[in-house]
A and B are shown apart, each in its own frame.
Chain A
Amino acid sequence: MKRVGLPLWIVSALLYAFLYAPIVVVIVFSFNAARYGGPWQGFTTKWYGVLLDSPEKLLAAKNTFILAFTSTMIATILGTLLGYGLSRYDFPGKKLFSWLMYIPVVIPDIVMAVAMLMFYALVRDSLGLFPLGMMTMVLSHVTFQIPFVAIVVRSRMVGMDPAIEEAAHDLGATSLQTFWYVTLPLLLPAVVAGAMLAFTLSLDDFVVSFFTTGPGATTLPILIYSSVKRGITPDINALSTLIVLVSVVGTIVATLLQRPRRTQGER
């Protein structure tokens, strides 16, 4: 592998700085005493207090995390099975479906959001199901999460040496046993990676949630959007800072969990 020269270091450093600049701004301004996001007017932590005092923001936070966890759980299971199935078995129409599975990955959020909105509306008119709310949001999130998980799992499956599974079968394991004791453990890094990806997507999703949410089911991104439309108050900056903190900690923990396996030269 080529060594990284100085010009590349500089360019990359600039790019990283570019990516982190807005986050730094958000964190800094969460301590700004100015009420309307104007120039710096002194250091304060009062916005964190204001934040913790507002029930609708805390409710939105709760909704966001429950939504993310629930949908990630469902999507990970379905997506892993999908990724596994697509890489292992053939069925009529497989090519078409594989192709169709990529649609949620690339489609513009808003097209997907309005499609689902209309679907729920039509079903509700005829069958009375699907009032907008937490349930419709979970259904919608799972829908765009599944393909991402499937893609990650599938690419790992493709790279996996089939000899191990063959060996398991040769030694008398049933398919289920093979899957559970041999394949799945090997797949676990990909499954976890896919789950993390799905979790992030759900946590940050705005457009789909916006169109499919219902009463009492507001999530943080929706709340933040209304705030931005109204004029951001610094307590939203405080909220974002906390979210960043949680994300960073979560990512570090997940990375550390994956570390030991890497250095054992598994592949």
Chain B
Amino acid sequence: MKKAQPTRAIRYGELLTRGGQRLRSAMTSGWGIAWVTLFLLVPLLGIAWISFMTRGTYGEIQWPATFANYQRLLGFGVLGFDSQYPTIILRSLVLGGGATLVCLIAALPLSFFIAGQPEGRKQIALTLVVIPFWTNLLIRTYAWQILLGQDSVLARLAVGLGLAEVGRPLYPSAFAVYIGMLCAYLPFLVLPLYTAVEKLDWSIAEAAADLGANRVQVFRHAILPQLLPGMVAGILLVFIPAIGQFVIPDLLGGAKTVMLGNAIQQQFGPSRDWPFGSAIAFVGMAVVMLGLWINTRVTAAKGEEGML
């Protein structure tokens, strides 16, 4: 199955043997790969390992190996059957998906706007999107508590529009959480999407219009496919972290719901059940793998090389 590789090849002007290439790879990529492998990939395997261990009486990690943690995740808990964990996972997926959708809806116009700016202003417009990102997320989220408080401008606007009761703050609520997520993740979707929009070949769209397609069709068939790799990259950059997010649901959702992130934190914190926490984290990892796999398929189909 191995491709026949020439023992010597000219690459970028240099004559290199296969061994020479491997040496070069080791000298350049080697360090980075070794680092990430040691400090992240190995630990991730560690999580998978620990998830099969048992929690000792005082919170230690011990043998025997067991499936109990995964059973709990499926709902066979110690207080009887309860679908709370599947619900938590589902809810996190929904929140992640919803946040991604909201960000996508906001990122599309914004990307086109920035790409449509004259050269000098493009960089500024893009930087302006990134600057808020430099403020601490906790602070921004807490600021939304103030912005959505009961006497704030937004609250009064909502009351005026008949969308809320008088005197009640607009948080904690699902609405507030989505606002927080949008604020936190928008730059992650805008950046890759903007890159794709910038490289758009408008001639295809023009050709489609010339051939009689209406605006919707032009968008769907001529523009959207070109945007796909950038969009998928951006979606991944939002969806997967959003699933594990626990700070925003805590601060803007009144800590009333448990998401995947909260569940993991609870096990590594107050409940001191590292094996069970690892099992939950492992599920989170599985979602990451799935997402990456999807991304590879999409970009492979487009014949492009990498994620961004």
Residues of A within 8 A of B (CB): 1-4, 8-9, 11-12, 15-16, 18-23, 25-26, 29, 37, 39, 78-79, 81-82, 84-86, 88-92, 94, 97-112, 114-119, 122, 139-140, 142-144, 146-147, 150-152, 154-155, 158, 162, 165-170, 175, 178, 200, 203-204, 206-207, 211, 220-221, 224-225, 228, 232, 236-237, 240, 243-244, 247-248, 251, 255, 258-259, 262
A247 and B134 within 8 A (CB): yes
Candidates B30, B128, B251; contact of A85 at CB < 8 Å = B30
Q: Is B220 an interface residue (CB 8 A)?
A: no
Would you give the shortest CB distance from B238 to chain A, in whole angstroms? 10
Question: Please, which residue of chain B has its CB at the minimum distance from the CB of A175?
Answer: B14
Answer yes or no: B90 CB below 8 A from chain A CBs: no
- B contact residues, total (Cβ < 8 Å): 94
By a CB distance below 8 angstroms, the chain B residues around A116 are 39-40, 43
Contacts of A166 in B (CB 8 A): 12-13
Does A106 lie within 8 Å of B236, measured CB to CB? yes
Chain A min CB distance to B308 (Å): 5
Interface residues of chain A: helix, strand, loop or mixed (majority): helix
A-B contact sample (18 more), CB < 8 A, given A140-B39, A221-B136 = A12-B113, A19-B183, A22-B183, A23-B132, A23-B135, A91-B22, A98-B306, A103-B41, A107-B240, A108-B260, A108-B261, A116-B40, A152-B308, A170-B13, A204-B137, A220-B136, A243-B136, A248-B134
Asked if B288 contacts A168 (CB within 8 A), the reply is no
> Considering residues B32, B39, B307, which has the most beta carbons from chain A within 10 angstroms of its beta carbon?
B32
Q: Which residue from A23, A37, A85, A167 sits with its C-beta under 8 Å from B29?
A: A85
Question: Does residue B215 face the partner (Cβ distance < 8 Å to A)?
Answer: no
**Selected contact of A81 from candidates B28, B37, B119, CB within 8 Å:** B28
Q: Is B42 an interface residue (CB 8 A)?
A: yes
Contacts of A251 in B (CB 8 A): 127, 130-131, 134
Q: Find chain B residues with CB under 8 A from A162 CB.
A: 12-13
Cβ A104 vs Cβ B36 within 8 A = yes
* Per-residue interface assignment for chain B, residues 41 to 58, with 1 indicating a CB less than 8 Å from any chain A CB and 0 otherwise: 111101100100000000
Interface contact A204-B31, CB-CB below 8 Å: no
A206 to B241, CA, bound (A): 13
Q: Chain B 126-153, CB within 8 Å of chain A: the 1/0 string?
A: 0111111111111111111011000100
B117 within 8 Å of A (CB atoms): yes
A156 CB to nearest chain B CB (Å): 11
Nearest CB in chain A: distance from B20 CB, A = 9
By the criterion CB–CB under 8 Å, are A150 and B32 in contact? yes
- State the CA gap A168–B12 with chains docked (Å): 10
A221 to B183, CA, bound (A): 18
**Knowing A88-B24, A106-B241 touch, does A23 contact B140 (C-beta < 8 A)?**
yes
Contacts of B131 in A (CB 8 A): 247-248, 251
Residues of B within 8 A of A (CB): 11-14, 21-22, 24-33, 35-37, 39-44, 46-47, 50, 106, 109-110, 112-113, 115-117, 119, 123-124, 127-144, 146-147, 151, 182-183, 186, 202, 236-237, 240-241, 243-247, 251, 260-261, 264-265, 268, 274, 277-278, 281, 284-285, 288, 291-292, 295-296, 305-308
Given known A82-B29, A89-B28, contact A118–B46 (CB-CB < 8 A): yes
> What is the chain A residue whose CB lies nearest that of B281?
A111
Residue in A88, A139, A175, A211 whose beta carbon sits within 8 Å of that of B39 in the complex: A139
Q: Are B139 and A224 in contact (CB under 8 A)?
A: yes
Choose one: A16, A21, A100, A206; the contact of B136 (CB below 8 Å).
Answer: A206
A39 — nearest CB in chain B belongs to which residue? B151
Q: Contacts A118-B46, A204-B136, A225-B138; is A110 near B237 (CB within 8 Å)? A: no
Q: Which residues of B contact A39 (CB under 8 A)?
A: 151
What are 12 A-B residue pairs whose CB atoms fall within 8 Å in the complex?
A1-B116, A2-B202, A16-B129, A85-B25, A108-B241, A111-B244, A111-B264, A118-B43, A118-B50, A140-B39, A200-B134, A206-B138
Contacts of B27 in A (CB 8 A): 81, 85
